Amino acid sequence: MRTLVEHIYRNESMLTKKQKELLEYIQSYQTKSGVTPSYEEMKAALNLKSKSGIHRLVIALEERGFVRRLAHKARALEVIKDAISTLKVSEKTNKNIIVGDFTGSNKDENNKLSTLPLLGKIAAGTPIEAIQHNDSSVDVPKEMMPIGESYALTVEGESMINEGIYDGDTVLIKKTNLVENGDIAVALIDDSEATLKRIRKKGQSIALESANPIYETRILSSHRVKIQGKLIGLLRKY
């Protein structure tokens, strides 16, 4: 089966459909008028209810390297056209995912692969027992790998499907105990249950947010939660 490597976070060649829609709108508007559309115009074009949604989309595009702000110029965004040409939409699913094209010869692919240990299953749903180590491994493009130790886990459950993370996917995790609010991470609860959730910290509490409305957000005391790593990528087989 064909494997698509889906880059999902900062510095990765991936956009949601809404982000791609905004990127294409900005480029088209600039081509026709020579200036960048206002946030109000962007909001209307994407049929969003508030400009804050546009602000988040622009930040995401900037973080992923698809646009950059021009200093000392109001409303000025530069679209990096080369980035647009590297994108394609996954036609196999209906998810809001844009994936990088990693096609090429087997020889070139082998020279660009890293091998990560596949440590077991991680729950995207109700937490399961802590990660079980085993002897399996998975090949991953080297360009996806950050500096430092990383590992892979198989997703079990559907609590993160609105983030494009499905049951049976393989998530790539950078080993770290430091995450920012909004990062998706592996959380170990009470040293016994491991789960994949979006992390929100407030005071002495940590919220473990799902990306599926049928699953509730869990709020726990910070001493009960240990961060085991941060999500950096996703592998899927069709």
Task: Check if 221 is active-site.
Answer: no
Q: Which of 159, 174, 210, 230 is catalytic?
A: 159
Instruction: Establish whether 159 is a catalytic residue.
Output: yes
Residues 211 and 217 sit within 8 Å (Cβ to Cβ) = no
Nearest Cα residue to 100 out of 160, 169, 20? 20
- Lookup result for tokens 């077991």: 120
Query: Pick the catalytic residue: 20, 95, 174, 197?
Result: 197
Residues 6+ apart with CB under 8 A from 194: 122, 123, 127, 128, 129, 130, 131, 186, 187, 188, 228
Q: CA triplet 75, 81, 86: central angle to 5 degrees?
A: 135
Residue of 140, 119, 141 lying closest to 130 (CA atoms): 119
List active site positions: 159, 197
